[in-house]
Amino acid sequence: MDQLNIILPDDWHLHLRDNESLATTVPAATRGFGRGIVMPNLNPPVTTVAAAKAYYDRIISYRPEGSDWEPLMVLYLTDNTTTDEIRAAAESGFIHGCKYYPAGATTNSDSGVTDLANIYDVLETMQEVGMTLQLHGEVTDCDIDIFDREAVFIERYLKQMVKSFPNLRVILEHITTQQAVDFVIAGNENIAATITPQHLLYNRNHMLVGGIRPHLFCLPVLKRDIHQKALIEAAVSGNKKFFLGTDSAPHTKESKESCCGCAGCFSHPAAVELYAEVFDQAGALDNFEAFASINGADFYGLPYNKTKITLNKESWTIPESLPFGDSKIVPLAAGNNIKWKLEN
């Protein structure tokens, strides 16, 4: 197959940051996508409907001329989120989920939830009004090994949470393990997961063998190859519970190439093509449209995008770096040759 025509995909998990960063991140997010679920981990985080509306307006002001890419906004849950705010979010029409970050789990998560028990009333209201919960599914206890944090979160908290709230719509974001795949498959129809390109393309050997590659460091961290294989199998299977979420997360080159480097991979410059490569290598291009353009919209109860995109089998090289304000940013798979190319 040399050409692929599919419904315009959506990105169900991404980071844009704020203000002048939006000049780079918003146009990048629109490339090959119709909509994007915008993570609220700004500093300070987006915790209210009013803050989400103001952020929405700032994002739209950087949308390229003629683009109708749509940012889908998300509230950041804290120990102090009120059920009134959840009801207002559900009525807003532009807020499509609430994000649970365990406090301290990742970039700008210090205001996250310190104990799931603190938000049980909020989860009950979300279940009642049909608001989706997006989970950063990792424990943060310092005695739990970083490679086990997702699996332990599922065992310790998630299994009980989905029993307590069987009608709550839950997305386990950026899954990284066989355990997460198994949990999602075994769950009811209200449980789904997003999968990033980096977790499909790489395992921890790629990040650590022969020297540390800081541009592959993200959270949850890359795991061993058996987990990578389980994620590929889930993504290409066509199962409706798995869909595209890049977790594209911009950090400057120097903040990644540092003695304490930031977590996050900026995948937007080649995101659709990187996913296409995974499906191609697995011999599953027939299921690419479901993963990229259909399953997520169905889960969120949104219509499919009306336009289509074309990908051609045409070799190109992902840039080594791109300008990012006064600095530079290194995209995921920088310098790599890639076989698929999005037609403009």
Contact footprint for ligand DOR (CB under 6 A)? 15, 41, 106-107, 136, 218-219, 249, 263-264
Residue 286 designated active-site:
no
Alpha carbon of 252 to those of 258, 262, 264, 302, 328: distances in Å?
10, 9, 10, 34, 6
Query: Quick one: what does residue 253 bind among ligand DOR, Zn ion, none, with the CB cut-off 5 to 8 Å set by partner type?
Result: none
DSSP state of 171: E
Alpha carbon of 293 to those of 227, 276, 301: distances in Å?
24, 12, 13
Closer residue to ligand DOR (CB): 48 or 255? 255
Q: Is there a contact between 216 and 207 (Cβ–Cβ < 8 Å)?
A: yes
Phi (first) and psi of residue 337, to 5 degrees: -85, 140
How far apart are CB 157 and Zn ion at their closest, in Å? 19
Closer residue to ligand DOR (CB): 264 or 331? 264
| Distant-in-sequence, close-in-space partners of 91: CB < 8 Å, separation ≥ 6 | none
How far apart are CB 249 and Zn ion at their closest, in Å? 6
Which residues would be at the binding site for Zn ion (CB under 5 A)?
39, 247
Please calculate the CA angle 271-273-278 and round it to the nearest 5 degrees.
100
Query: Quick one: what does residue 219 bind among Zn ion, ligand DOR, none, with the CB cut-off 5 to 8 Å set by partner type?
Result: ligand DOR
Closer residue to Zn ion (CB): 9 or 36? 36
Sign of CA dihedral 296, 298, 301, 304: positive
Burial category of 10 from C-beta neighbours within 10 Å (exposed 0-12, middle 13-18, buried 19 and up): buried
Among the options 84, 247, 280, 286, which is catalytic?
247
Query: Quick one: what does residue 106 bind among Zn ion, ligand DOR, none, with the CB cut-off 5 to 8 Å set by partner type?
Result: ligand DOR
How far apart are CB 207 and ligand DOR at their closest, in Å? 12
How far apart are CB 195 and Zn ion at their closest, in Å? 12
Closer residue to ligand DOR (CB): 8 or 249? 249
Closest CA to 27 of 63, 72, 69, 66: 63
Closer residue to Zn ion (CB): 10 or 289? 10
Query: Quick one: what does residue 41 bind among ligand DOR, Zn ion, none, with the CB cut-off 5 to 8 Å set by partner type?
Result: ligand DOR
Q: 3-state DSSP call for residue 34?
A: coil
How far apart are CB 323 and Zn ion at their closest, in Å? 23
Query: Quick one: what does residue 264 bind among ligand DOR, Zn ion, none, with the CB cut-off 5 to 8 Å set by partner type?
Result: ligand DOR
Phi (first) and psi of residue 9, to 5 degrees: -70, 170
Q: Is there a contact between 16 and 251 (Cβ–Cβ < 8 Å)?
A: no
* Catalytic center residues: 247
